[in-house]
Amino acid sequence: MIGRLNHVAIAVPDIEAAAAIYRDGFGATVSAPRGLPEHGVTVVFVDLPNTRVELMQPLGEASPIAKFLERNPGGGLHHLCYEVEDILAARDRLAAAGARVLGSGEPRIGAHGKPVLFLHPKDFAGTLVELEEA
């Protein structure tokens, strides 16, 4: 069921500073910042040969990453995003096995224009998991 690693996400307090680390320090291709109010984050994507890094800064009053940054003020690894062929089939299989699907449980459109869902970190070895339909 599980497919490619789509991205590794890092929550940061200052997205321009984090983007500069990858652009100027590592020489990576880095996108312009993009605000996604429906997800409560501003994102920058770093393109790597085999995957992407998603840098995220809180956006708005109720950002889902605000509490994480309170606990980790310098930033930190936030989630892994795996591709799946059929997101509803993947959700139903994981939920039937006892995993908690976050939010309404219905997929929303993510940063790449594809349906995404989040799974509770306590059910996945302490790692917040995002599923994205391939």
Ligand X SMILES: CC[C@@H](C(=O)O)C(=O)SCCNC(=O)CCNC(=O)[C@H](O)C(C)(C)COP(=O)(O)OP(=O)(O)OC[C@H]1O[C@@H](n2cnc3c(N)ncnc32)[C@H](O)[C@@H]1OP(=O)(O)O
Which residues are near ligand X by CB under 6 A? 9, 36, 39, 41, 43, 54, 56, 64-65, 67-68, 78-79, 81, 102, 110-111, 116, 118, 121-122, 126-128, 130
- Closest approach, Cβ 78 to Co ion, in A, equals 8
Q: Strand (E) positions, 31-73? A: 34-36, 41-47, 52-58
Q: Is 9 in the site for Co ion (CB under 5 A)?
A: yes
Tell me which of 54, 83, 130, 133 is the catalytic residue: 130
- Closest approach, Cβ 105 to ligand X, in A, equals 12
How far out from the chain centre does Cα 60 lie?
17
Catalytic-residue membership of 85: no
Residue 78: CB atoms within 10 Å: 23
Query: Cα separations (Å) of 5 from 9, 74, 111, 134?
Result: 11, 25, 15, 11
Subset of 101-130 contacting Co ion (CB under 5 A): 130
> Residue 33's binding partner, choosing from ligand X, Co ion, none, with beta-carbon cut-off 5 to 8 A by kind?
none
Q: Which amino acid is at 121?
A: P
Half-sphere exposure for 64 (CA within 13 Å, toward CB): 14
Q: Is 132 in the site for Co ion (CB under 5 A)?
A: no
Subset of 42-81 contacting Co ion (CB under 5 A): 54, 81
Cite the active site residues. 130
